[in-house]
Chains A and B, each alone.
Chain A
């Protein structure tokens, strides 16, 4: 176990070390994290036109600090995230959506 740590040093070696760690954790009885599957809202609801004038549609994607919600969290597909981004930026220009909180 310690031998692995000792041989570490280079980036690659560290990477391998981490992989070993993950395996060790799997060995222990750890319940897998329970996540609900993420789906693209725009694909599901068949929203083709992400319009910048529709603040109600865009607001859930700019929570709290008014930053654009990343794809990895919202689950939006790449195509729609791109369109969402332009829509949000336009909506910000005409003060429908804030650039920053407070």
Chain B
């Protein structure tokens, strides 16, 4: 069994009922194929598209996580291609990627714990310990870059 992620964009003209109808249709396909199940459905609602698709500037995004096999996804893919209501869709296999992510994260926490224990610290990071920036990312850290002691900036 493989895990897939299906994203489809429904035309903004579609009614709420039509969107749910589409979901039931996909569910029906899953059931008819007799293998797999829908694990999760996520409706992002109406969103602006980054570019126009056809004449649409907006779309309703729906993300479904589906357990199944290639056959099943092929069938869903075919059905969505035919559908006029769906203006764009994408099927991505995610089980492998998820596994890799889980493994790297596990490895990271394991090493960090081992090192912390070796340094005589508690296993997990304490709140407010060793803060570096405010966590929002980038620039604020670089501004304090004075590894060169300010030489070269003078003159």
Contact = CB atoms under 8 A, between A and B. Distances in A.
Interface string B95-123: 00100110011001000000000000000
Interface in B38-75: 49-51, 53, 59, 61, 63
Contact of B49 (A49, A52, A90, A95): A95
B90 A90 contact: yes
B88 to A, nearest CB: 6
Contacts, number: 47
Interface residues of B, number: 27
Interface residues of A, number: 22
Interface string A14-42: 00000000000000000110101100010
B7 interface: yes
B88 A53 contact: no
B9 A95 contact: yes
Interface of A: 31-32, 34, 36-37, 41, 45-46, 48-49, 52-53, 90, 92-100
Contacts of A46: 108
Given A49-B97, A49-B101, A94 B90 contact: yes
B152 A94 contact: no
A99 B50 CA distance: 8
A34 B7 CA distance: 45
A49 B61 CA distance: 21
Contact of A36 (B49, B90, B145): B145
Nearest to A96: B50
Contacts of B61: 94
A96 B59 CA distance: 11
B138 A52 contact: no
* Nearest 6 interchain pairs by C-beta: A95-B49, A98-B50, A49-B101, A48-B101, A95-B50, A48-B104
A94 B44 CA distance: 13
B104 A32 contact: no
B90 A95 contact: no
B25 to A, nearest CB: 20
Given A34-B148, A94-B61, A98-B51, 17 more contacts: A31-B152, A32-B152, A36-B142, A37-B145, A41-B138, A52-B92, A53-B63, A90-B90, A92-B50, A93-B88, A94-B88, A94-B89, A94-B90, A95-B50, A95-B51, A95-B53, A95-B88
